Amino acid sequence: MASTTDRVQRLFLENYRPIFSFFLKRGFPREECRDLTQETFSRAMQGLKGFRDEASEATWLFRIARNLWLNKERDQGRQKRRRPEVSIVQVFPEDQEIPDRREVFGGSEELSPQDRLLRREQVTRVRDALAALPPQRRRCLILRLQGLKYREVAVLLGISLQAVRSHLSQARHQMRGLLEDDLGLGHRESEAME
Amino acid sequence: VSDKRAALSELVRELGPEIRRKLGPSPSPDEIDAYVNGTLSEEQAENVRDHLTWDTETRETILDLMMFPIIAPPRDEPLVSDEEILRDGETAPRSGDSP
């Protein structure tokens, strides 16, 4: 007979994705889906000893998930009803000047008109160079530039690690001209794309 | 090297909003689910790939879903359908209900 730990592990592996999808399809943001999925399994673990084989474990898990979902919906409904209306006049009374957006959220340093032009030109050149790459090559490069690991790129695009390496190597080769001539990046720097 | 890479990353990041606007609405949860399960047509899958390249939320959701492989349950029992769950949900539980 399987131990409780084995049973929980199996339940988790078999049902994590469907339970996560269950919450996702009900419009919860990703972070909340993750929390609700964990909460579902946490409740399942607490109740595992009392579980009788009258229903399948999957059915039972979905009942827990469904309860969590309905409770959440009702709580959110309550909060919505309780939330007072706040107008901008209350937040910033008339005698107080409304602050500049950058004072509130922080902002980047103002660029000179020339720098802005140069910047726009660089962005356009990068965009054109990326557009010239075959789709998978382009995706691999952009995902890497956004800090994803090789393995993550492979998983997301459904390709092998070897294919990711090959796409990146070809992207580097293809974009080298742009990086060296237009952006002032040398050969060694262009290798940073990998 | 890392400065140069950061500069290039920054330029690509600046492109993000423009590209996302062109790509249109993000894939629905159903489309994401189907992409993860490999049941989308190639054309639809390409669209999801474009989105996940530029849209962090779509990408992270897919990574979350792909973290665990689907392993078929040992017994041949279908998961409960959305309809069954909704039918069950007609009598809403009280807050703090235990499983």
Highest mean pLDDT among A61-65, A83-87, B17-21: B17-21
**What share of chain B in percent tops pLDDT 70?**
65
Show the tokens assigned to A97. 């000047």
Look up residue A159 and give its DSSP letter: -
C-alpha span between A15 and A58 (Å, rounded): 7
Residue bearing the bigger pLDDT, A188 or B10: B10
pTM: 0.61
C-alpha span between A36 and B80 (Å, rounded): 18
C-alpha span between A110 and A101 (Å, rounded): 14
Radius of gyration of chain A measured on its C-alpha atoms: 26
Which residue carries 């009598």 as its tokens? Answer: B91
pLDDT surpasses 50 at B95: no
pLDDT category of residue A167 using cuts at 50, 70 and 90: very high
Chain A residues in contact with B72 by the CB 8 A cut-off are: 14
B11, B65, B77 ranked by CB distance to A20: nearest: B65
Q: Which of A8-12, A80-84, A132-136, B57-61 has the lowest mean pLDDT?
A: A80-84
**What share of chain A in percent tops pLDDT 90?**
21
ipTM over 0.95: no
Q: How far is B24 from chain A (nearest CA, A)?
A: 17
Q: Is residue A178 within a helix (H) or strand (E), and if so which, with residue range? A: none
Tell me, yes or no, if A108 comes closer than 8 A to chain B by beta carbon: no
